[in-house]
A and B are shown apart, each in its own frame.
Chain A
Amino acid sequence: MKLTEDQINRYSRHILLKEVGGKGQKKLLEGKVLIIGAGGLGSPIALYLAAAGVGTIGIADADDVDVTNLQRQVIHFTPDVGKPKVISAKEKMQAINPDVEVRTYQEWVSAANIADMIADYDFVIDGTDNFAAKFLINDACVLGGKPYSHGGILQFDGQTMTVAPGQSPCYRCIFPEPPPKDAIPSCSQAGVIGVLPGVLGTIQATEAIKYLLGQGDLLTGRLLTYSALRMRFREIPFRKNPKCPICGEHPTITTLKDELDAMTVCDLGH
């Protein structure tokens, strides 16, 4: 594949970077990233990956745009209310960059569909709003050997980490099991400041881009936490947990299953 003149022009500010260059931009154009969740986190992730020229972007979400989403889900506009989120997102991504192939999955991830969904991608990003999906994505990526970025937001706080299966700790190394149902308030109960997913989602998109480029250090072996109220980032170093139920020494999870007790939906639309 050779960059066209239009592409050299469009991506010139990337190509100027020694860590990217024409070679790196080609890697991005040949790269495939799956974004699960087209909400708060998914919005900046999808916009930035499309703008960056990531050649194939999958986006999965079964929901429709609700007026309560618009305070933070910046890929969806007021006239999109009622439209499937993946369609609304695809329209904006292609308007930013017609170079990009956008594949839409208008469904929730489940133990039945996730392994097939992630198989064709280089990197997966968790932008979901519930623990059932977050644990399922971790399990599918660990079992499938697929690198992924975890992200979570609530009120003024966010956290993110990158998992390189087999090499770095996974989400279950820190949190072996989902919290009991109703132990954690959802966004619809507790609220979320609109700018928060912009900060966390942009970090997650950065990880995908660095992974495709093969440049820099990924956010592995450490959980990055962000408090918008205190305007503080903290990094918590983690080791692989030998007792981890999926990537430890004696794994108890060897096949995918849905965490039915963790189905707390965190969407202001509900």
Chain B
Amino acid sequence: MQITVNGETVTTEPVTVLAYLESIGIDPRRVAVELNRDILPKAEYPATLLAEGDQIEIVQFVGGG
């Protein structure tokens, strides 16, 4: 299936948000995830399944100044 990740179309299996982040090498502690324009609480990453056409934004913590 296809989803949009940070503005780019990607193909993925219908996995959970947590599994998707891990599959692309992202430590879930280091990001916030917006799913279809709503921030997804971290506790829901393991149980939230991605579906065809979902739009996700993965936003990194950036703390320097």
Contacts and interface: CB of A to CB of B under 8 A. Distances in A.
8 contacts: A41-B65, A126-B65, A131-B61, A159-B62, A174-B39, A175-B61, A183-B61, A243-B41
Contacts of A90: none
A31 interface: no
Contacts of A197: 65
Nearest to B6: A234
B25 interface: no
Nearest to B63: A131
Contacts of A42: 65
B64 A152 contact: yes
B65 A186 contact: no
**What is the predominant secondary structure among interface residues of chain B facing chain A?**
mixed
Interface of B: 6-7, 27, 29-30, 32, 34, 37-39, 41-42, 57, 59-65
Contacts of A231: none
Contact of A129 (B27, B60, B61, B65): B65
A42 B63 CA distance: 14
Given A236-B34, A236-B57, A152 B63 contact: yes
A39 interface: yes
Size category of the A interface is: 35 or more
A225 B29 contact: no
A222 B32 CA distance: 14
A153 B6 contact: no
B57 to A, nearest CB: 5
A206 interface: no
A180 B65 contact: no
A121 to B, nearest CB: 18
Contacts of B42: 176
A238 B30 contact: no
A37 B65 contact: yes
